């Protein structure tokens, strides 16, 4: 489903909610944070991952004037590990592309506004720059290590889909990248980013040595989030308008348990998506849950209540196109006085890549 219909659906659904419905608060709501993923910024190309510099500037303006709290990932992890509350509208900014446009357009804006961020680096690309002399190099990274606003993450040396590699290949690729960081910068990045967002149980086990491993699945990070599955809302030109930014920045955790499929790559298109729901989510709240899929309408849900757990099955009536798809499930949460202008959304996202 395209972005605008999703927003229109949520707004329409919002308007139909009972005005007196109270908010259902979970303990992890108090230390939750929304993480954003940025890819190509200010490029002249027409890639799906592009974000124009004008759109990025608009988001920076919103952040600096809208009462947001931009935090380092280190501070978030520290607070969540001790149960410390985080301020409202807490967000983390992450950047996946270290190129000339990032250095020219994005970095000055972040520095000027004193905004902390995580920069994901590819050791292979930095080695390639060292050979060809085109683009930011290892030498350009060194000053960033002294910048208190900057945290560093990494990808494996080979940026390739997880499903075409063995577990041993994945380990070797990560270790090769770590070795290059030690050789060139004398440190190892504490954060990891899954290429193309693809993860599996085996990949997660390998990535568990990092303080956090970042996905490309929408959702909210909380104290209950598995740190090998940190969700992020992606920011591209198709999903960058300020209304969406404001809505996602107020999203709340939607704790789902043992989802199936338990990995991004899946052979069956469409899959049957199943998961259990934390029993602190009431039947009343769960009855308001709706799920929507990219490019596919008419999803149906089955909810089964047992004394021990609540199980949900989402049936997707048609295959996803282009060999990939997303499903997002949301539950509206109103303020205690039922003010519809204060609605927020519990948000759980699922990402899929399929065999062609």
pLDDT digits (tens, 9 = 90+) for 201-245: 999 999 999 999 999 999 999 999 999 999 999 998 888 889 999
Percent of the chain with pLDDT over 90: 82
Query: For residues 342 and 130, which has the higher predicted lDDT (pLDDT)?
Result: 130
> What pLDDT was estimated at residue 60?
97
Residue 93, judged by CB atoms within 10 A of its CB (0-12, 13-18, 19+), counts as buried
CB atoms inside a 10 Å sphere around CB 83: 11
* Whether residue 43 has pLDDT greater than 90: no
Average pLDDT of the residues of the chain: 90
CATH, domain range 28-254: 3.20.20.370
Query: For residues 198 and 236, which has the higher predicted lDDT (pLDDT)?
Result: 198
> What pLDDT was estimated at residue 289?
96
Q: Mean per-residue pLDDT for 262-287?
A: 94
- What is the band of 144 on the pLDDT scale with cuts at 50, 70, 90? very high
* Whether residue 163 has pLDDT greater than 80: yes
> What pLDDT was estimated at residue 340?
58
> What pLDDT was estimated at residue 19?
44
- Tokens linked to 343: 């609605």
Element (DSSP H or E) covering residue 171: helix 167-185
Q: Mean per-residue pLDDT for 258-267?
A: 96
**Domain boundaries for CATH 3.20.20.370 within the chain:** 28-254
Looking at domain 258-354, its CATH architecture is Sandwich (2.60)
Q: Are 349 and 231 in contact (CB under 8 A)?
A: yes
- What is the band of 4 on the pLDDT scale with cuts at 50, 70, 90? very low
**Domain boundaries for CATH 2.60.40 within the chain:** 258-354
Gap between the Cα atoms of 114 and 109, Å rounded? 8
Q: Mean per-residue pLDDT for 102-123?
A: 97
> What pLDDT was estimated at residue 121?
98
- What is the band of 48 on the pLDDT scale with cuts at 50, 70, 90? low
Query: For residues 23 and 192, which has the higher predicted lDDT (pLDDT)?
Result: 192
- Angle separating helix axes 3-15 and 242-249, nearest 10 degrees: 60
């Amino acid at each position: 489903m395209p972005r605008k219909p999703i927003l229109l659906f949520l707004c329409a659904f919002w308007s139909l909610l009972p005005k007196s419905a109270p908010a259902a608060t979970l303990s992890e709501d108090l230390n939750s944070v929304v993480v954003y993923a940025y890819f190509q910024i200010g490029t002249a190309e027409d890639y799906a991952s592009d974000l124009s510099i004008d759109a990025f500037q608009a988001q920076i303006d919103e952040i600096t004037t809208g009462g947001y709290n931009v935090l380092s990932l280190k501070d978030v992890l520290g607070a969540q590990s001790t149960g410390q509350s985080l301020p409202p509208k807490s967000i983390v900014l992450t950047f996946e592309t270290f190129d000339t446009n990032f250095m020219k357009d994005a970095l000055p804006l972040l520095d000027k506004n004193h905004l902390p961020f995580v920069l994901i680096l590819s050791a292979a690309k930095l080695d390639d720059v060292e050979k060809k002399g085109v683009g930011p190099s290892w030498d350009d990274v060194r000053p960033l290590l002294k910048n208190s606003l900057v945290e560093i993450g990494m990808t494996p040396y080979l940026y390739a889909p997880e499903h075409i590699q063995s577990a041993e290949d994945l380990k070797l690729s990560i270790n090769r990248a770590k070795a290059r960081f030690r050789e060139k910068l004398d440190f190892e990045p504490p954060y990891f980013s899954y290429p193309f967002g693809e993860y599996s149980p085996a990949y997660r086990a390998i990535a568990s040595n990092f303080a956090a491993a970042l996905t490309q699945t929408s959702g909210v990070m909380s104290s209950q989030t598995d740190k090998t599955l940190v969700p992020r809302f992606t920011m591209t030109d198709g999903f960058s308008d300020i209304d969406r930014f404001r809505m996602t920045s107020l999203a709340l955790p939607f704790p789902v348990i043992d989802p199936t499929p338990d990995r991004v790559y899946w052979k069956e298109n469409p899959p049957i998506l199943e998961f259990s729901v934390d029993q602190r989510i009431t039947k009343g709240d769960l009855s308001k849950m709706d799920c929507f899929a990219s490019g596919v309408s008419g999803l149906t849900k089955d909810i089964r209540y047992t004394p021990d757990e609540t199980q949900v099955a989402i049936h997707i009536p048609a295959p996803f196109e282009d060999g990939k798809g997303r499903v997002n499930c949301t539950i509206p949460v109103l303020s205690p006085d039922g003010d519809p202008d204060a609605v927020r959304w519990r948000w759980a996202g699922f990402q899929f890549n399929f065999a062609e």
